[in-house]
Structure formats: structure tokens, C-alpha cells
Amino acid sequence: MIKEYISKITIGLLTIGFGIVLATAPVSALGEGGAPAGINAARGDNTPSNLANGDSSIVRRAINIMLFGVGVLSVVMLIFGGFRYVISGGKKESVTNAKNTILYAIIGLLIAVFAYAIINFVLSAALSGGSTTNV
């Protein structure tokens, strides 16, 4: 009996949903210049795009924020590992677990620092057009 009501409610909701979808008016975007003209119109003509250019680029900021989060997490885990080491009470297994936590936190911190350096180097080299030295 309950299954009957659930199936009727489901069919009714699906019918209403499909009715709403089918009742919408089709929209077509016609314009001169295609997609690039629309992008420039939305952004504004003669406005520089800062998606990947310069120090304030969106890509660079997003990567730096993620690497900052990894660095903060590594420091928090380093503090947590030190706390576990202090309260281990000399138990061999607890001391080993605490030392492993500290070791992995330091490795994570080093990876974050090196990733920051590598990514900023690659972005600056890629966005400036590469090396301009003549050999």
C-alpha cells in the first residue's frame, strides 16, 4: 500500500518536472563575431585578462592558496606529532608513531616549499615566453 503511494508520488513529481523542462522556451544566442566577441563584450573591450598573466593571476593565486593550505596542515601535523611524542610516556610503539608523524609532517612541509618554488618558476617562465638569452 505504501509502495503504491510512493510510486504515484514519484510519477507525479517526474511528470511535473518533465512538464517544466519541456515548457521552457528555447533560447538562441546569435551575434556577430562568435564566442570571442561575446567573451570580450562580457569582460569589456581593452580590459586585460588576468587569468594567467602577472603576479595577481587567478591561476597563481589558486595554486598559492592550495600550497599555503598544505603548508599549514604540515605545521599542524608537526605540532601534533610533537605533542604525541611528549605524551607517549616512553612506550616504544607510541614513540615510533609520534616520530613517524613528525617525519611525515617535515616531508610534507618540504614538498610544499619545493612545489611552491617549482610552480612559480614554471609559471613565470611559461608566461614570459621562456628564455630570451641567445646562446
Task: Render pLDDT for 32-71 as a digit per residue (tens, 0 to 9).
Answer: 555 555 555 565 555 556 655 655 577 778 888 888 898 8
Supply φ then ψ for residue 91, to 5 degrees.
-70, 130
Please state the pTM of the whole predicted model.
0.53
Residue 53 has a pLDDT of 60
Residue 101 has a pLDDT of 95
Angle of helix 58-86 versus helix 92-127 axis, rounded to 10: 170
Q: In this structure, which amino acid lies at residue 84? A: R
More confident residue, 45 or 17: 17
DSSP 24: S
The secondary structure element, H or E, covering residue 50 is none
Distance separating alpha carbons of residues 50 and 56, to the nearest angstrom: 7
Residue 14 has a pLDDT of 78
More confident residue, 5 or 92: 92
With CA atoms as reference, report the closest residue to 74 among 25, 46, 112. Answer: 112
Distance separating alpha carbons of residues 91 and 35, to the nearest angstrom: 66
